[in-house]
Chains A and B, each alone.
Chain A
Amino acid sequence: MRRAAVPVLVVLGVLVAFWYAVAVPMNIKGVLTEAQRAGVVVVPESGADRRAASAWRLVTMNLSVVPDTWAQARPRLPAPHQVAIELWETTAQKKVTSKRSLVYHGWVTLSATLLGFAMGTGLGILLAIGIVHNRVMDMSVMPWAIVSQTIPIIALAPMIIVVLYSIGIQGVFPKAVISAYLSFFPVVVGMVKGLRSPDAMQLDLLRTYNASQAQGFWKLRLPASMPYLFASLKVGIAASLVGAIVGELPTGAVSGLGARLLAGSYYGQTVQIWSALFAAAILAACLVGILGVLERIVLRRMGGRT
């Protein structure tokens, strides 16, 4: 564990350093304009000349303003510490009921994610069971499942929202439907593979016991599919989160991480966008992590080696 910490920290450090470095040329033009307005002498003085010059040249000619590129109120690319501070202020320092709290927005998205994930996983498992046990379903469902994933969700999401709204359904459910739409697919694929993983010998063995199809499912196919299921669930929960966020975009929703992203881009609040983005990433990492822990517990109870 400790041996792994050093390389991980080195990679992290390099990424952060790179981020700081590219923030300088990204923000230099805005900083120079602001500095000039405040009465500082900048090179070149003409705004038109600055627009024509390359960002790196402007940096080398105005080294004194470099620290300012990491402290703008509305930078093109906020510096890491600006995002970190915004994250801290909007999580730990706000009441969770506040409309400015990322915990509040995160919960709005998370609730849709979890509901959608539950629906998608349930649907995925049921479809997989059908596909494995029924030839007609095997031939018919899988192609449609694949086709369903080729439609860009960003095109489909507004239609789902609108159709559900027209029959009086709104709130968390339409977002959950989009989440489910994205997350059922990896579960179907993984579970079909998992339920089919027992080899011919295993199936023959059950036949010699005169076992029913249901017994074969509960005693052999289902337990054999568990490692496949968990791999699918990890992909599925991340897809669910993406679905919930995408579901918040077309409705002009006022709450949720997607709404924060959208509001941030309307008002040029890049720090807010980035902090919402990181909040989503951290949330996804936590969800996948929880599933990982669950996987280890289940597989250990099933006699796994680790």
Chain B
Amino acid sequence: MSEQTVIEARNLDLTFQTNDGSVQALRDVNLTISKGEFVSFIGPSGCGKTTFLRVVAALENPTGGSIVVNGMSPEEARKQRAYGYVFQAAGLYPWRTIAGNIQLPLEIMGFSRAERKARAEQVLDLVDLKGFGGKYPWQLSGGMQQRASIARALSFDADILLMDEPFGALDEIVRDHLNEQLLALWARTNKTIGFVTHSIPEAVYLSTKIVVMSPRPGRITDIIESPLPRERPLEIRETQEFLNIAHRVREGLRAGHEPDV
């Protein structure tokens, strides 16, 4: 695998102007993400992990520093359909079938009808929802809906997948299952994934790189390159190596945590 840089942030700053004055959401963030990496962002609320993802997606504009996605600005990268974004809620349109929802970005991007149909079939298979294309969202469980939303993000075959706490609203059993599936999906497609989470085990289990962040102002306190192999059964979470990484993440979180909470 080539060590091609996909996302590069240099001295990134972002300050929001609110009614109560300015809030520094990101301060001096430096991060390089290579092609095919699975990068998790972990930290307490307000640490800027979601904000960073939104900057990559050109949903927020940084107020300082630079960020490059696929060698261009995030705005240009978006126009090139560089990434698919998965939100915490599935956000499927209730008036469209699952296949219809997956075809939504394809319609907007002007794919032909035949191409849309073929791609919807293909990504439904990828997230293990074969045969559910004709169902409406309310007919599916929460976990299946979130898988459908991942399929939607995959449908136009962007190289980067940005996921903002995609499994945050699901129970732990479903979550484990989806984590396992996500790893399989990542192995098959070799996409670069940015993944925001609150959960230490989730971050350690999934990632090749864990970015630990802390709030007020949002900044990176530690970047951990995971020594775990890419092939990961769920049982890997009981190994000493796994626990060591989890411990380091916890230390990083504690270091950045102010005692006033």
- Minimum Cβ distance to chain A for residue B146 (Å): 13
Do A201 and B105 form a contact, CB below 8 Å, given A208-B57, A303-B94, A303-B97? no
In the complex, A108→B136 CA distance in Å? 44
Residues of chain B contacted by A215 (CB below 8 angstroms)? 108
- Determine the chain B residues whose CB is within 8 A of the CB of A254 once the complex forms: none
Stretch at the interface among B30-38, B82-90, B227-235: B82-90
In the complex, A99 has a CB within 8 A of chain B: no
A209 B87 Cβ-Cβ under 8 A: no
**Is the C-beta of A140 less than 8 angstroms from some C-beta in chain B?**
no
The answer, yes or no, to whether B91 is at the interface (CB within 8 Å) is yes
B105 x A209 contact (CB < 8 A): yes
- Interface: A211 (CB within 8 A): yes
CB of B149 to closest CB in A, whole Å: 9
What's the dominant secondary structure at chain B's contact region? loop
User: Which residues of chain A have C-beta atoms less than 8 A from B97's C-beta?
Assistant: 303
Chain B 65-99, CB-CB to A under 8 Å as 1, else 0, gives 00000000000001101011101110101111100
> Given the interface contacts A207-B59, A210-B81, does A201 sit within 8 Å of B93 by beta carbon?
no
Q: SS class of chain A's interface: helix, strand, loop or mixed? A: helix
Q: Determine the chain B residues whose CB is within 8 A of the CB of A201 once the complex forms.
A: 87-89, 91
We find that the number of chain B residues with CB closer than 8 angstroms to chain A is 26
Tell me, rounded to whole Å, the shortest Cβ–Cβ distance linking B77 to chain A.
10
For chain B, residues 87 to 119, give those with C-beta under 8 angstroms from any C-beta of chain A. 87-89, 91, 93-97, 104-105, 107-109
- In residues 198-225 of chain A, which contact B (Cβ within 8 Å)? 201-202, 204-211, 215, 219-220, 223-224
Is A37 close to B, CB under 8 A? no
Measured in the bound complex, the distance between the Cα atoms of B138 and A206 in whole Å is: 21
Counting CB contacts under 8 A, is A135 at the interface?
no
Residue from B85, B93, B107 in contact with A208 in the complex, judged by beta carbons closer than 8 Å = B85
Task: State how many angstroms separate the Cβ of A206 from the closest Cβ of chain B.
Answer: 7
A305 contacts B by Cβ under 8 Å: yes
Question: A147 in the interface, Cβ–Cβ < 8 Å?
Answer: no
Q: Contact: B91 with A219, CB < 8 Å?
A: no
Binding site for A on B (CB under 8 A): 57-59, 78-79, 81, 83-85, 87-89, 91, 93-97, 104-105, 107-109, 136-138
27 residue pairs bridging A and B, Cβ less than 8 Å apart? A201-B87, A201-B88, A202-B91, A204-B59, A204-B85, A204-B87, A205-B91, A206-B108, A207-B58, A207-B59, A208-B78, A208-B83, A208-B85, A209-B104, A209-B105, A209-B109, A210-B78, A210-B109, A220-B93, A223-B93, A223-B95, A226-B95, A302-B95, A303-B96, A303-B97, A303-B138, A305-B138
